[in-house]
């Protein structure tokens, strides 16, 4: 039994030494691509006040429907219209340490997702300026489809870069053949942040000439990725 206990540490030590003797080439593969945002998210917050709940909610629904109908009249098909965060609460006014209830407040958010901002965003924002009497903001962002395709391309390019570098090193050292021993990869998570247009630009609807088109200049995104690839080989000069 004692012999077995002594043999086990020696065996682990031997295996560790063998692992350390494996010839390795470790390289970092890098990649970079540039893409343009292909989607726009428009956020609107609607609020209506009235002395009765029914009057507040009816006014809110009427305003929401007017916006939805105006967008339909543009003839644009490639967008999604969402309504969420619906609230109704007492309009409580606080003055000098006392409170007074004055009717009710109904509110909800509208989100319009424009799938083809290059062609449709200006027309949709113009329609919102003319229909809605409130401010809104626009986020230019990357769709899930483009994000997944870009992540795939970035990783493929990073792996190709790692292989290319390793082959140069091997050739310089007179090594005929290398093979992958291990890959270390942590996906980059901060590549696809949205770009938000300033709210104050979008709040100027009352002062804007109806014939004047909003101007959007999407910023090109520079995306990066990297991967560590460890190669092993036999022999060499």
pLDDT digits (tens, 9 = 90+) for 172-183: 999 999 999 999
pLDDT at res. 111: 95
| 167, burial (CB in 10 Å: exposed 0-12, middle 13-18, buried 19+) | middle
**b/e 181-198 (16+ beta carbons within 10 angstroms → b):** eeeeeeebeebbeeeebe
The predicted-structure confidence for 71-114, as pLDDT tens digits, reads as follows: 999 999 999 999 999 999 998 888 888 888 899 999 999 999 99
The domain locations on the chain are 20-35+143-193+221-237, 39-141
Q: How confident is the model over 119-147, as a mean pLDDT?
A: 88
Could you give the CA distance from residue 108 to residue 103 in angstroms, rounded to a whole number?
A: 17
Given a cut of 70, whether residue 169 has pLDDT beyond it is yes
Check for a shared fold between 20-35+143-193+221-237 and 39-141.
Answer: no
Residue with the bigger pLDDT between 9 and 202: it is 9
DSSP conformational letter for 37: -
Q: Can you name the CATH fold of 39-141?
A: Alpha-Beta Plaits (3.30.70)
Residue 117 phi/psi, 5-degree rounding, is -60, -30
Q: Which helix (H) or strand (E) holds 6?
A: helix 2-20
Strands (E), 51-169: 79-95, 98-114, 136-141
Could you give the CA distance from residue 65 to residue 83 in angstroms, rounded to a whole number?
A: 11
Question: What one-character-per-residue DSSP string does 96-121 give?
Answer: TTEEEEEEEEEEEEEEEEES-HHHHH
Q: Can you name the CATH fold of 20-35+143-193+221-237?
A: Translation Initiation Factor IF3 (3.30.110)
């Amino acid at each position: 039994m004692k012999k077995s206990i002594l043999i086990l540490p020696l065996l682990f030590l031997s295996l560790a030494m063998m692992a350390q003797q494996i010839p390795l080439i470790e390289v970092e593969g890098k990649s970079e691509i540039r893409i343009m945002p292909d989607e726009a998210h428009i956020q609107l917050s609607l609020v209506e006040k009235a002395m009765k709940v029914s009057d507040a909610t009816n006014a809110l629904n009427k305003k929401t429907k007017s916006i939805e109908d105006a967008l339909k009249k543009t003839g644009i098909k490639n967008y999604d219209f969402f309504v969420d965060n619906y609230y109704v609460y007492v309009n409580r006014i606080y003055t000098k340490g006392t409170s007074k209830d004055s009717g009710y407040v109904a509110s909800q958010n509208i989100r319009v997702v424009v799938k083809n901002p290059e062609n449709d965003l200006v027309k949709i924002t113009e329609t919102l300026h003319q229909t809605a009497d409130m401010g809104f903001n626009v986020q230019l962002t990357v769709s899930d489809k483009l994000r997944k395709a870009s992540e795939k391309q970035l990783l493929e390019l990073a792996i190709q870069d790692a292989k290319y570098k390793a082959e140069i090193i091997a050739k310089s050292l007179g090594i005929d053949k290398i093979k992958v021993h291990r890959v270390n990869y942590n996906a980059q998570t901060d590549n696809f942040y949205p770009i938000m247009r300033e709210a104050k630009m979008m709040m100027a609807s009352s002062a804007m000439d109806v014939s004047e088109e909003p101007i959007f200049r999407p910023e090109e995104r520079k995306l990066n990725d990297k991967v560590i690839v460890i190669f092993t080989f036999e022999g060499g000069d």
